[in-house]
Chain A
Amino acid sequence: MENKLPFVDVLKGVPGYQRKSDLRSFEYSYKAEITNVYPLTASEKLYQIQITDPEMRKRFTFRPGQFVMLEVPGVGEAPFSISSSPIRHGDIELCIRNVGNLTNFLSRVERGVQVGITGPFGTSFPLEEMMGQNIFLIAGGLGIAPLRSPVLSVLENRSRYAKVDIIYGARQPSELLFTYQYDMWRKFDISLDIIVENPDKQWSGPVGRTTDILSEKLAAPAGSLSRNTYAIVCGPPVMFKFVCNMLTEAGIPMQKMFVSLERRMHCGRGKCCRCNVGSTYTCLKGPVFDYWSVMNLKEAI
């Protein structure tokens, strides 16, 4: 039998636990439990998901802007931006609209269901780099889901940032997400403007688009925008294109504006190619890109 080749066990002798290079971590998922389901609107719910193992939960760290892959065995796996604060570690919140196979299934589950979580994956908003500066946080529609993590992070570290402006636009008042938190956010000395395109009878706030509020704000800038301001913009591509162009004209450098892109993903690990924009993997080089990089991506907007 001396000419029988030995079987190579690729997992044998792999030292330590390095999530990005360890072969055994590829298909590894944290077992997690949906501990609470909070309906936000007719189609979106906030899922509180806790990694079951307390030690793993503590070790799970992420940065605002990163995403996880959420898996329900037999139903599917899909990427979701984390909507909670990073100080909560593996006790995360995901804001999910029921729109596809997996999300329609999730819209019917109750608390207590066991799911799988892998991640976190992707790039994040450079909140440390933004310290000491003014920040515009601008969201359109479901864009508030990836924006909520940096919002919460900024609020928790409020003294480290100068002026904070949140502008959030939706099509109609019934589609507004996290309405129960607006008053709390305002108490952190931030300016929060909410605008809708199609008001209903109860709506007393402004009517229009996020760019309407933004143009008012930019008309009376506090100091030199090119030096003292960062922007995070999340929303549909058509929205962040208009917003970022407006910010560029106001003098904010493109590399100080950040957007989060959404694409189809089947792996989250730079292997399935489904999320490629031009030839860039959204899951590895994104989902958070500065606007300069987005402008240089073919077919991004």
Chain B
Amino acid sequence: MIFRIIKKLELKELFDVMAENRIIGPVQKGTSHEGKPLYAFEPVLDFNDLKLDYTTTTRPAKRYFLPSHETLCTFSIHENGWDKSVDFNIREPHVFFGMHACDINALDKLDKVLLESNFPTPYYAAKRKNMFIIGVECNPQPFCFCRSMGTDSASHGFDMFLTDLGDRYFVEVQSAAAFNFLKNIKTREPEEKDHTRYMKVIAEKNRKFTTAVDTTDLAKILDMEFQSDVWKYWGDKCLSCGTCASVCPTCYCYGVEEAVDIDLKGAKKKKHLYSCNLIDFAEVAGGHNFRPESHSRLKYRYYHKHRGFMEEFEESLCVGCGRCSEACLAKITVPEVIASVRSGVKPKGRPGRHGK
């Protein structure tokens, strides 16, 4: 790994150098009813719009890699049959300016199933390979439990990673493309004082984590507690709305639908991201539903995240970003669900995302 130091003011220069490409980054989209800023990953034209000190975005970076709706192929229908044409729906490379470690880890996890397994998906591959990623050190929030999931730092899956040291940035350079970009601006070798400052900043960050999830033997505990009443408790709260999946940076399940064009000369095959909490997720033709109850679907979601993925890849599919807990209309939070499954004790009183 190559490390560089750049002055804070130089970052705008770097942004302008990269601006020949389409840049996506965190911007403020609005204000919550509590008066807190709401952030989103959007195309950025002006460096001043970029909010690198953002808390977290409501929705993940997923839409740039796995769009919620995507046309997989189009058909032209003619007298003797049809022809299929496939498009991966990406035309040019993009720069992602300012992604937190949890979201980079989320992409690394998606890589495992969408790129590195059998039947790799070109729709994801094309977008992933055409995204230059600049990571940025985060500011832990009360709902973040990435540290418990081992995703509070990223070791790969990005091109460049920035850590704010006050008047300068500590830069990890991971790709040749990143190195080439840096040639355009003033950088210097890090010195001992930069290393010391870096360690101090990271230690300060780590002290800010307030939420933890005990993941010891979690896969086995989930197996043992498969019949636990605790699931019914959470299932009764769950509205089966699928919000958790739509804000999850690693949920990748989907459904496919086909439709004939209105002029009857063509057809489209469309994919839309789905959620295993939606009632018809496991319903087969003829109407049989393998998971008719809300609790069986909620349980399945935890199984896939914390046990199934673990079995396949020796790691959990959850990155602890806390977005699902924040977005849940029923205020179901991952740390509370896991704690209750571990202990076998239903939470007393009204469950809530910020304590009881």
Contact = CB atoms under 8 A, between A and B. Distances in A.
Answer yes or no: do A and B interact.
yes
Interface centre among B95, B119, B255, B308 (most CB of A within 10 A): B119
Interface in B1-33: 17-18, 20-21
Nearest to B256: A266
B122 A8 contact: no
B269 A77 contact: yes
Contacts of B291: 299
A5 B255 contact: no
B113 interface: yes
A15 interface: no
A75 B256 contact: no
Interface residues of A, number: 53
Given A5-B95, A271-B252, A274-B253, A280 B82 contact: no
Contacts of B268: 74
Contacts of B311: 279
Interface stretch (A21-29, A161-169, A221-229): A21-29
Contact of B290 (A99, A263, A267, A280): A263
B6 to A, nearest CB: 16
A146 interface: no
Contact-residue size bin, chain B (C-beta under 8 Å from the other chain): 35 or more
A100 B285 contact: yes
Contacts of A10: 88, 122, 125-126, 129
A172 interface: no
Contacts of A260: none
Contacts of B196: none
Given A5-B93, A10-B126, A298-B226, A26 B121 contact: yes
Contacts of A279: 300, 303-304, 307-309, 311
Nearest to B75: A73
A73 B258 contact: yes
Interface stretch (B44-52, B276-284, B333-341): B276-284
B42 to A, nearest CB: 19
A272 B254 contact: yes
Interface string A6-20: 111011000000001
Interface string B170-185: 0000000100110010
A50 interface: no
A4 interface: yes
B46 to A, nearest CB: 18
B165 interface: no
A20 B119 contact: yes
B224 to A, nearest CB: 11
A99 B286 contact: yes
A252 B95 CA distance: 60
B254 A271 contact: yes
Interface string B105-136: 00000000110011111110110011010000
Nearest to B126: A10
B330 interface: no
A4 B21 contact: yes
Given A5-B95, A26-B119, A273-B304, A267 B258 contact: no
B199 interface: no
A103 B118 contact: no
Interface string A253-285: 000000000111011011111101111100010
A116 interface: yes
Contact of A74 (B88, B259, B276, B309): B259
B20 A4 contact: yes
Contact of B255 (A97, A114, A274): A274
B122 A272 contact: no
A73 B269 contact: yes
Given A8-B129, A114-B81, A272-B254, A278 B21 contact: no
A116 B129 CA distance: 29
Contacts of B120: 21, 23, 26
B38 interface: no
Contact of B77 (A4, A74, A77): A74
Contacts of B93: 5-8
A35 B121 CA distance: 32
Nearest to A20: B118
Contacts of B329: none
A100 B308 CA distance: 30
A71 B86 CA distance: 15
B195 interface: no
A298 B253 contact: no
A27 to B, nearest CB: 5
A22 to B, nearest CB: 8
A100 B256 contact: no
Contacts of A158: none
A26 B177 CA distance: 29
B72 interface: yes
A208 to B, nearest CB: 24
B192 interface: no
Contacts of B300: 276, 278-279, 299
Contacts of A75: 258, 260
Interface in A71-119: 71-78, 97, 99-103, 114, 116
B55 interface: no
20 contacts: A5-B93, A10-B88, A10-B122, A20-B118, A25-B119, A31-B81, A73-B269, A97-B286, A102-B285, A114-B82, A116-B84, A263-B282, A266-B254, A267-B254, A272-B253, A273-B253, A276-B308, A279-B304, A298-B223, A299-B291
Interface of A: 1, 3-8, 10-11, 20-21, 23-27, 29, 31, 71-78, 97, 99-103, 114, 116, 262-264, 266-267, 269-274, 276-280, 284, 298-299
The 6 closest A-B pairs by CB, nearest first: A279-B308, A100-B285, A74-B267, A114-B81, A273-B253, A269-B119
Given A23-B122, A278-B308, 14 more contacts: A6-B93, A23-B125, A26-B121, A71-B269, A78-B285, A99-B285, A100-B285, A271-B254, A272-B254, A272-B274, A279-B309, A284-B118, A298-B223, A299-B296
